[in-house]
């Protein structure tokens, strides 16, 4: 079982407290993404799992074995953790062919030549590099170089693969293609993946679960759908996707939902999900995604179109209805700037501040 457990992890760089009481369990075969802005601690966490950084306190277990414990004075070196790692800059050897780059981890492990050849040829098929074995990195595209890095990390059959923003140096189209390639490779091989990115689209497309970090503290853990549909707090709602934040006043609690009056928008109260929030205050923050607002004659909120932007598959409207809000509308639903319309709220959630 390639299970990873981080227990009460703390990390200081001098007086800078970068990771604060981090607790996380990653299951066998799971694809987990550490997501957050620059400086939130996601790469430091990845490097501690790999063994390139040592926590200031806490424990790390891999496959049930303790690989780090400050109290027990255990610190297993990276090469003994059976982990493959792919870096942001690929780190392929420029003087080696594709075959030799991929074979390098096996050669330093002194494997027999026949086994090296067999393993390299097998992983070349997996990452779709057949026919490029004799080429050098300067003869490859960025995507091909990235595949070489993946193949090299996977060729000795590690149980865990760590990926540190591996797509950030690729152009937008290639990044999108590689997201699906990575997920496909992970499913076929069954390796446990921990992926670091600040790109929410990458996290949403590839992850089984997302760990949202801010200032070294986990803000929320959940599936992409859970994180998007039910953000726990204002930071998560603002970092994942686009959100309209509105002030609300609770009128009545109805089971798992609440009746709320939007102080800046609607005239009539609406019933929205509170998503198991504890200690609800009288005044709350309500989040409405742009696609969860509808422009319709049956709406009960009066608004004025301020700006219209055509984005291909939809139209993005900025509308004033007591305050400016954003709406994602079908591309055929065209209104002029300055035109008055009515809005209907299809869905909203309450978040913690």
**Domains in the chain with CATH codes:** 4-234 (3.40.50.300), 242-351 (2.40.50.140)
Of the given ranges (20-29, 39-48, 269-278), which has the lowest mean pLDDT?
A: 269-278
pLDDT in tens, 290-316: 999 999 999 888 999 999 999 999 999
Task: List Cβ neighbours of 116 (8 Å cut-off, separation of 6 or more).
Answer: 103, 106, 107
pLDDT of residue 127: 85
C-alpha of 323 from chain center: 31
- Percent with pLDDT over 70 in the chain: 98
Top pLDDT among 69 and 259 is at: 69
Both structure tokens of 345: 């709220």
DSSP 8-class letter at 159:
S
Both structure tokens of 112: 């027999």
Reduce the DSSP state of residue 10 to 3 states and report it. strand
Cα within 13 Å of Cα(257), Cβ side: 10
pLDDT of residue 275: 67
Where does the pLDDT of residue 180 fall: very low under 50, low under 70, confident under 90, or very high at 90 and above?
confident
In the predicted structure, residue 101 carries a pLDDT above the cut 80: yes
**In Å, what is the CA distance from 82 to each residue of 256, 324, 337?**
45, 52, 59
Average pLDDT on 325-339 reads: 94
CB atoms within 10 A of CB 176: 14
Contact 152, 92 (CB under 8 A): yes
In the predicted structure, residue 266 carries a pLDDT above the cut 80: no
Contact 218, 230 (CB under 8 A): no
Angular region, 338: left φ>0, alpha ψ -120 to 50, beta rest: left
* Separation of alpha carbons 317 and 337, rounded Å: 9
* Separation of alpha carbons 86 and 5, rounded Å: 21
Contact 224, 212 (CB under 8 A): no
- Percent with pLDDT over 90 in the chain: 63
pLDDT of residue 185: 84
Both structure tokens of 100: 């030799």
Residues in the chain: 353
Give the DSSP letter string of 46-98: HHHHHTSS--SEEEEEETTEEEEETTTTEE--GGGS-EEEE-TT----TTS-H
Model pTM score: 0.90
Average pLDDT on 87-93 reads: 80
In the predicted structure, residue 239 carries a pLDDT above the cut 60: yes
Average pLDDT on 128-144 reads: 90
Cα within 13 Å of Cα(90), Cβ side: 22
pLDDT of residue 276: 62
pLDDT of residue 280: 78
In the predicted structure, residue 179 carries a pLDDT above the cut 60: yes
Where does the pLDDT of residue 267 fall: very low under 50, low under 70, confident under 90, or very high at 90 and above?
low
Where does the pLDDT of residue 68 fall: very low under 50, low under 70, confident under 90, or very high at 90 and above?
very high
In the predicted structure, residue 136 carries a pLDDT above the cut 70: yes
pLDDT of residue 314: 94
In the predicted structure, residue 77 carries a pLDDT above the cut 80: yes
């Amino acid at each position: 079982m390639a299970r990873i457990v981080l227990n009460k992890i703390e990390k200081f760089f001098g007086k800078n407290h970068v990771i604060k009481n981090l607790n996380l369990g990653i299951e066998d075969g799971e694809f987990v993404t550490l997501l957050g802005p620059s400086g939130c601690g996601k790469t430091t966490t990845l490097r501690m799992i790999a063994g390139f950084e040592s926590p200031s306190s806490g424990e790390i277990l891999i496959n049930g074995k303790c690989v780090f414990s400050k109290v027990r004075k255990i610190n297993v070196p990276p090469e003994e953790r059976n982990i493959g790692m792919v870096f942001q800059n690929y780190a392929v050897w420029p003087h080696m062919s594709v075959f030799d780059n991929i074979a390098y981890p096996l050669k330093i492990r002194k494997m027999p030549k026949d086994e090296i050849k067999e393993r390299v040829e097998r992983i070349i098929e997996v990452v779709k590099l057949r026919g490029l074995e004799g080429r050098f990195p300067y003869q490859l595209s960025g995507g091909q170089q990235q595949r070489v890095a993946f193949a090299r990390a996977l060729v000795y059959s590690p149980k865990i693969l760590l990926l540190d923003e591996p797509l950030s140096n690729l152009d937008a189209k290639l990044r999108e293609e590689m997201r699906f390639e990575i997920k496909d490779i992970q499913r076929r091989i069954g390796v446990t993946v921990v992926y670091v990115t600040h790109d929410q689209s990458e996290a949403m497309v590839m992850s089984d679960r997302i760990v949202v970090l801010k200032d070294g503290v986990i803000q929320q853990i959940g599936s992409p759908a859970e994180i998007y549909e039910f953000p726990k707090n204002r930071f998560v709602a603002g970092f994942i996707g686009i959100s309209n934040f509105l002030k609300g006043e609770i009128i009545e609690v109805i089971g798992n939902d609440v009746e709320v009056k939007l102080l800046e928008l609607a005239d009539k109260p609406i019933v929205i999900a509170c998503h198991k929030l504890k200690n609800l205050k009288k005044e709350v923050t309500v989040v409405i995604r742009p696609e969860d607002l509808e422009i319709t004659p049956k709406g009960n909120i009066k608004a004025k179109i301020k700006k219209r932007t055509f984005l291909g598959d939809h139209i993005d409207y900025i509308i004033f209805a007591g305050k400016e809000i954003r709406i994602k509308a079908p591309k055929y639903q065209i209104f002029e700037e300055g035109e008055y319309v009515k809005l209907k709220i299809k869905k909203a959630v309450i978040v913690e501040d």
